[in-house]
Structure 1
Amino acid sequence: MNKYKDYKAADFLQEEGFVSWLKEPLGEDKDAQFWNDWVSHHPEYYDEIQKAKKMYLKIVEPEFEDFEVVRAKDRVKDRLKSSIIQHQVGHTNEMNEKASLGVWKNVTRYAAAVAVIIGTIGWFNSSEISQFFDTNLVSIENNRSHSTTVLLSDGSSVVLSPNSTLKYPKTFDNDLRKVYLEGEGFFEIAKNKKKPFIVSSENVTTRVVGTSFSIKDFSDGENSMVSVVTGKVAVFTEEASDKDILSGVTKGEILIENQALRLNNASKQVTMMDNADHISSTFTFVDAPVTYVVDVLEKFYGVEIIMDRSKLGSCQLNATLLDMSFQDKIKVICQAMGYSYRMEKNTVILSGQGCP
């Protein structure tokens, strides 16, 4: 059970372990390990964690001389008290008694958070805090009635289902490619053995190197599902650190092509099953008109592909477009047709002279 389910920024700041982690987010103590793992498995709290971090940095001052510590704490208290009153109370004379009581409850929550912070302040490096939090995650929320495709910097693609959210870094600069999913998505991962790919969702964590698979994991869903189309993945149904997952200390359930895993989110019971693979047939083309292939890609990925159809005539394609990203599929078509392409958000523009 998630004890932090209804937590806001001020609530997190009342947790001593959380504040200790803010002081040393790159530390190796149990607080750092716990909160690093917890945050990585709960991307839906990213905004509240960011707010907590900003509040924390406003309250503390990173460089104190020893003899100034006592005076500094007093200054922090005074500054915070003033900030809380300005931020939370505002025009109290315009509020009725009931509203004022609600505001006062919020003030006391912030005051309690400050008490915890002041009680745990020590020497720290604020640049370390920024280094951990400033991850520049891009957040894509699909509120449409149809799927949309998200292209990642490494060439991987994600078909994001309606009512689903994907968070990911602008670029994968480290030795690990990691994204966060709330809801449902179909992943086609660019192969890179030196940079494993991890998808963190509400109830499962999935590790791959290069493959195609789907994840369905809504926070309020009865079951979570991981289905493999090509390649192999490891699925972890218990919380584990990235380090333990990558090193093999924590073992996951291995799924190969055409296998699926279903997790009952209440009982945590895991069921292995065969995956009814409709995608393989979807992307297998024999003497298929190129216009038909383009229509299939448009429908599946939720993108628009612009081209001069009159030039294609009776052009046909023989290809199996599996185990590759959306962008690689476009490249195969262009290579066969002697075309070039460019991408603009969710639009692909093909240009060329027609059949070679």
Structure 2
Amino acid sequence: MDKNTLQKTLQRLFKGKASSEDRNVINDWYHSFDSDEDIIIEDHKNRSRQEIRDEIFSKIQAQSGIKRQHDNRRIYFLTFAIAACICIGLFNLAYKFSNPSLQIQPEETFISFENEVGMIKKVKLPDGSYVQLHHNSSIDVNKEFSQNRKVLLKGKAFFDVVPNKDLPFTIETESFKTTVLGTSFSIESRPGSFDKVAVKSGNVSVQSQEFGEVLLGKDETVKLESNQLVQGSITNSELEFGWTERTLVFINTDISTMIKEIENWYGVELYSNCENLPNRKISGAYHDMNLEELLITIQFSIPLEFEINKKSVHLTFKECK
């Protein structure tokens, strides 16, 4: 019997308008559970189906004074006892367990890893996969990772996933759910900017509740921009993945963005005599340099002077003097 039919039958019963046929329908539905041995019903207290039924019937007995009968007749009071059982939970349990999508799942617990500014943090997961966390980024890893390879991401990270065809690896952000079997790729999800997935190797499935699913292969990207999924190709691999190999990359970058990137990369605060130089851009890849080496190199592109005092750096752009 479907849910709507049973609910309408119960409504007639509660209003005192149930026919003898209605009562027989409810009795038949109730007794059908005795033959459904393949349906396992357990609630949050880990009670079995029979324990639930016994406890409910005990409550009915206590409130009504009705005693359990051990005959084969379908007597009138049993119909109302069944209706009461349904009202306080048995119907909902039976319906949920006959519909797997509605079953209550155990509450998930996670272990958190965070990275602030000034470094790239590398995390090894229990299955041998690696995650590199960009600045101001964090992941939550499912505590039962051997059974559920699920990660929650805030910020930007690069994943190098160990293949396991029987246990997909999923990463959830505010906008995307990304699923892989074994591959390497980056994901970025930050407030105020578009979400992006870029694939270095293998294949990736990116799912959005609102925009559907996109399949990506090597050197392909997808980003959520202006309320739509925009697919593209990686034209500069170093720009996408250089940070994972300690390479700071600028491509036609304005001064204010460059300053912010340097602050995050080295964990310092920069002060300058210019808010921005509209006509001045910088491009270059700077591999494994300390802060002083970087600023000396930048001087060849942009005339500036600098002074480093521990975590504070003062930049003086000659064009702003």
TM-score after normalising by structure 1: 0.39
Answer with 1 or 2: which has the greater Rg. 2
Which has the larger strand fraction? 2
TM-score, length-normalised on structure 2? 0.42
Q: Give the structure with the higher percent helix.
A: 1
Choose between structure 1 and 2 for higher RCO, CA contacts under 8 A separated by at least 6 residues: 1
